[in-house]
Structure 1
């Protein structure tokens, strides 16, 4: 557990050493990775690839990310989390550096780009559960919600700035140099995370093996209806939101709004909403954290409805801004609930099931988006996305603990529900 620092005039007492290092490292990697996602797509196109090739390189990153997430969570609860994070950052640094060298040297082959993207996804699969567990264990007490909100604000701001800067750099110096910058960012983040103070982290008892650890993590999830209910809901909601944003949104923008520019502005409005909402959550501490968080998910149905109508570019931007505000309220309250209710030694395994549920159905939804639109029409498909979000969110509210779970200013140690 990081130790609170009270000496620095510009740092609040709850922003201890670990929290500060974790936030700084997350901002650095956010700046680099957001631009690198754009750079990777343009690197494929620059090498003569097609839209299908761009999709293959993106899928090559997503598949190992989903496949290894659960293993990554178990490993992060078995080994020191900061070492897992540094190792994952190192793998990402090396893969992005090699990717950059290939792009700068000439025309990289498709299989090479897919392999390097797959290595990046593998690193992320081990990094994400360890990072979430480390962030959750780096703060204590009633300031946890404020700490999570500041962390999220930094990450969201870095993602927005990184995407804007990365797009500009791709246009001026080329994708290879943007990938090189991302490699440097991963190296810097690994250096910051290597200085994390783990002296206060309690020793973890030896487990009974990887499969035993995974089963124990699953029992933690299955024993809490509020947890698995929201994870299942998020799996479908994230999938339909992903399909609407990745497939239907660009098509509607091209046909009705004037092309890529208004769609890009709408996505920027979403990002601005997340930053403003994170700022709001530094001050607001809702009592019924899960109820407030789940209620905030209803506005996620609005973008699909706006695309189905379709609204003007300005109307769509306003709707995307509102949905950005809403999703960030959920993100902070969700982190507060996990921090309060899950035993520290099992945080990464629970986080891995959360991440797995959030991502597992996205590739299938994006792959099926086109055939569904062909079969029922794009407008009907978009209204269907909105309806699914509303129905599943309402269903989660029927779970008693979702409505009743309240914030504790000074949480007692969470008790395991595992048998």
Structure 2
């Protein structure tokens, strides 16, 4: 019998204080950053830049991201993760604020835009492993996948508004104001993350050093075939889809679709798709996590293919919507596998190797987008991107551990024991 005097819970057990703060802060940054990505590309174009210049600015952001990711992961497993996150948010706030001021007050030089985006990429290199480790450690139990789905649902919902609002603001007011909004969003998010509680995370024992930490993370990473094989797959997928969306997309929008607003609508449709995918994963729990997730990477080939044709804005938006649904199935399955298989004290380092491998080729792809277009043509380059997504995704399905890693049906002790999966099929490890 229910006690009428007992207080009613307003949120599920897994939605604790840290989880709530992380979700609200991520919503704030997504609102700003998805519009800012479009704004940065159009800021370059408005100063007379071409495909190569857009690619150089995009590459300037991803190069330091690749360079400092592993260090960021080791630092986040050694220092309190919330302090690393706040410091990174502060750097992003300052760099985007200065970028906005330059755009609003005059014509920024290419080197200035590259420098400021490089600072932003440096901040993200330290933020991403700390944030993923913090989120993965903020939930427990069989409902972890539901928690991750809800988190992604909230952040992707913010992305929908951010992309659509960003495109509209660029068309109405120019890219500078969108960059200023992004700076303010980083400031607000950093303030929220300062209140995260890390008392549940066991302090690291003294001794060792940065290289020792990196070696431990590498051993954890390389010992799991499903982990490193999918990271290799995504090193190609992220590179070619990043070039398609970040470089060719704005150019196709300018030349074929009528400018920034239609491209913002198409990106917002992708955000709607990720939101719908998160809703699906809130209910659906595929037993073979990585098999279901990997099959859902194939639709990403539709993005460069749709730009190559190019499709009008309505069917283009439909393709991006489907891609968003599919990649969200992969995203939740991936986070659930990581949470299930990787010990808590290794989360940020494994996450850093995951991020590093996934984005390692992105700067080269961004910088090469212009020369490749000049050599082969934009349409041919985009069809090549689509083909590469299909080939590497088919290849990763040949790895037995990718096909066989199985969701646990019960909680197995504490985070330190998460790597001992009695319910998984085969000698599989965890995702990165």
Same fold (TM over 0.5): yes
Distance 2:224 2:288 in 1: 17
Counterpart Cα distance in 2 of 1:198 and 1:74: 17
State the secondary structure of the residue aligned to 1:198. Answer: coil
Q: What is the aligned partner in structure 2 of residue 286 from structure 1? A: 286
Q: Partners of 2:44 and 2:254 in 1: how far apart? A: 22
Counterpart for residue 155 of structure 1: 155
User: Equivalent residues in 2 for 1:7-406 (5 A)?
Assistant: 9-44=9-44, 48-51=47-50, 53-249=53-249, 262-308=262-308, 311=311, 313-373=313-373, 375-376=375-376, 378-406=378-406
Label 1:8 to 1:14 Cα distance change in 2 as closer, same or farther (>3 A): farther
**Contact 2:290/2:334, CA 8 A, preserved across alignment:** yes
Number of residue pairs aligned between Structure 1 and Structure 2: 411
CA distance change for structure 1 residues 238 and 58 in 2, over 3 Å: closer, same or farther?
Answer: closer
Shift of 1:330: 0.3
Q: Residue 29 of structure 1: SS of its match in structure 2?
A: helix
Aligned to 2:418: 414
Measured after TM superposition, the shift of residue 371 of structure 1 is 4.3
Q: Contact 2:60/2:363 (CA < 8 Å) preserved in 1? A: no
Superposed displacement of residue 346, structure 1: 0.9
Query: Cα distance 1:365–1:116, how it changes in 2: closer, same or farther (>3 A)?
Result: closer
CA contact (8 A) 1:77 1:346 kept: yes
Aligned to 2:426: none
Change (3 A) 1:358 1:174: same
Cα separation, 2, equivalents of 1:167 and 1:321:
17
CA displacement, residues 50-99 of structure 1 (integer Å, 9 cap, x when unaligned): 23554443332222112111111111011111111011112222223333
CA contact (8 A) 2:167 2:263 kept: no
CA spacing shift, 1:348–1:8, aligned 2, 3 Å: farther
Q: Secondary structure at the match of 2:198?
A: coil
1:141 match: secondary structure: coil
Q: Give the CA deviation at 1:263.
A: 4.3
RMSD, aligned α-carbons: 2.7
Any conservation in 2 of the 1:287–1:407 contact (CA below 8 Å)? yes
Residue 302 of structure 1 contacts residue 386 of structure 1 at CA under 8 Å; is this kept in 2?
yes
Q: Tell me the TM-score normalized by structure 1.
A: 0.88
1:398 Cα deviation (Å)?
Answer: 1.7
Q: Deviations over 1:360-381 (max 9, x none)?
A: 1122223334544555555554
Contact 1:78 1:206 in 2 (8 A): no
Q: What secondary structure does 2:340 align onto? A: helix
Q: Which runs of 5+ in 2 are unaligned?
A: 1-5, 421-428
Contact 1:145–1:332 at 8 Å: present in 2 too?
yes
Note if contact 2:244-2:304 (Cα within 8 Å) is conserved in structure 1: yes
Which stretches in structure 1 are left out of the alignment for 5+ residues?
1-5
Instruction: Name the CA distance, whole Å, in 1 between partners of 2:107 and 2:372.
Output: 36
Q: Does the Cα contact within 8 Å between 1:78 and 1:207 map onto a contact in 2?
A: no
Instruction: Output the TM-score relative to the length of structure 2.
Output: 0.86
TM-fit CA distance, 1:176 = 4.0
- For the structure 1 residues 117 and 371, does the alpha-carbon distance in structure 2 shift closer, same or farther, using more than 3 Å as the test? closer
Structure 1 Cα separation of the partners of residues 253 and 113 of structure 2: 29
